[in-house]
Amino acid sequence: MNVVVTGGAGFIGANLCRELSARPGVGRIIALDDLSTGRAGNLEGVDAELVEGSILDAGLLDDVVSSADAVVHLAARPSVPRSLADPFASHEVNATGTVRVLEACRRRGTHLIAASSSSVYGSVSTLPKHEDLPTRPLSPYAASKLAVEAYVLAHGASFGLPVLALRFFNVYGPLQPAGHAYAAVVPAFIDAMLRGAPLTVFGDGLQTRDFTYVGTVVRVLADAALREVTCAGPVNLAFGTRVSLRELIQRLSEVVGGPPPTVHHLAARAGDVRDSQAADDVLRGLFPDVVPVPLEQGLAETVRWFRGLPAYAPQPAGEPARAGSL
């Protein structure tokens, strides 16, 4: 089977290409990526072809998708704060780009698996978040992700396209970049801890998230492609691991070692949800064999990966570690 991964040079995409390349039954793997946040270097040593270009380019998409048996659509302009800075850019890549990918798949009836986000639940406070709950996006990013899954499921209903829309929660692990304004919380905290710098927490730190290790996420995605898993409704891709940011800091500082980190609190950010925890019964029904990597193990793997990067190599005495350039 040949698989196209849009956003294949990004954090989750490159981990997925690596996972697919180790799976029997997978032939050609094409990573379509415009390298806006992804890096060609993420695919080093992975048996995947990188096609540099945009999902907004209909001709290129058609070409790339023509040889595929499955498309895993991860390309997006991620992050809530990025969408607050430029809502239209998020809409264009996330919503319009998804329709373009769907249309390329529709021409050949190609199975499509797409990344939605837990942010679609927004201000709905019920826990755990079950797929039957209403959606109330709090940010342009969340609205664009709701559009992603709505278009994907509508193409399934209207044209009989085999589709699966997965709501990712907080995914973390190797290749997730730190050291930039829109960094996710796990790499941002690890980066600060390894440099001995203070951690920045927006709000009181009691907000909760459902963290999912990237290795678990890509195993589900690869299984979905190989078994052509479909679903008429959206599916949470997380396992109910609800942890506050304060607890995350505690667990990370145990893994990293050394003195407890200093934490600076800033005002809570617009668009951020308060609590997040997935109901996983629909996911487990579709993927009965999935065994999630526990949080302690996933955090340890992630810290080990960071420690192997040149930016975090031990410095001569007296010199602080450089800021992460990932």
Two tokens at 73?
């659509």
Residue 52 Cβ, how far from ligand NAD at the closest point, in Å?
A: 9
**Which one is catalytic: 141, 151, 172, 312?**
141
Site residues for ligand NAD, 8-27, by CB under 6 A, read 9-13
Decide: 117 and 168 in contact? Cβ < 8 Å. Answer: yes
Nearest to 226 by CA among 14, 7, 20, 13: 20
Q: Answer yes or no whether residue 115 interacts with ligand NAD by CB under 6 A.
A: yes
Q: Which stretch binds ligand NAD (CB under 6 A): 72-80, 227-235, 239-247, 310-318?
A: 72-80
Burial code (b: 16+ CB inside 10 Å, e: under 16) for 243-281 equals: bebeebbebbbeebeeeebeeeeeeeeebebebbbbbbe
Q: Answer yes or no whether residue 191 interacts with ligand NAD by CB under 6 A.
A: no
Q: Exposure of 88 by Cβ count < 10 A (0-12 exposed, 13-18 middle, 19+ buried)?
A: exposed
Decide: 6 and 34 in contact? Cβ < 8 Å. Answer: no
Q: Which stretch binds ligand NAD (CB under 6 A): 36-44, 130-138, 152-160, 193-201?
A: 36-44
Site residues for ligand NAD, 116-135, by CB under 6 A, read 117
Q: Answer yes or no whether residue 137 interacts with ligand NAD by CB under 6 A.
A: no
Two tokens at 244?
């506050």
In the complex, which residue's CB is closest to ligand NAD? 38
Residue 248 Cβ, how far from ligand NAD at the closest point, in Å?
A: 14
Q: Answer yes or no whether residue 76 interacts with ligand NAD by CB under 6 A.
A: yes
For 152-291, strand residue ranges (E) read 163-168, 170-172, 199-202, 208-213, 235-237, 242-244, 263-266
Site residues for ligand NAD, 142-171, by CB under 6 A, read 168, 170-171
Whether residue 121 lies in the annotated active site? no
Site residues for ligand NAD, 39-68, by CB under 6 A, read 54-56
Binder to ligand NAD among 46, 75, 161, 295 (CB under 6 A)?
A: 75
By beta-carbon proximity to ligand NAD, the closer residue of 115 and 260 is: 115
Binder to ligand NAD among 26, 43, 51, 93 (CB under 6 A)?
A: 93
For 108-162, strand residue ranges (E) read 111-117
Residue 12 Cβ, how far from ligand NAD at the closest point, in Å?
A: 4
Number of residues that bind ligand NAD (CB under 6 A): 30
Residue 44 Cβ, how far from ligand NAD at the closest point, in Å?
A: 14
Provide DSSP, 211-229: EEEHHHHHHHHHHHHHHT-
By DSSP bridging, strand 263-266 and strand 49-52 are: unpaired
By beta-carbon proximity to ligand NAD, the closer residue of 32 and 164 is: 32
Residue 73: in which H helix or E strand, if any? Answer: strand 70-73
In order of 32, 82, 85, 153, the CA distances from 195 in angstroms are 34, 25, 28, 44
By beta-carbon proximity to ligand NAD, the closer residue of 128 and 321 is: 128
By beta-carbon proximity to ligand NAD, the closer residue of 315 and 325 is: 325
Nearest to 78 by CA among 164, 180, 173, 150: 180
Residues pairing with 4 in the sheet? 30, 71
The set of catalytic residues is 141
Using CB under 6 A, list all residues that contact ligand NAD.
Answer: 6-7, 9-13, 32-38, 54-56, 74-78, 93, 97, 115, 117, 168, 170-171, 184
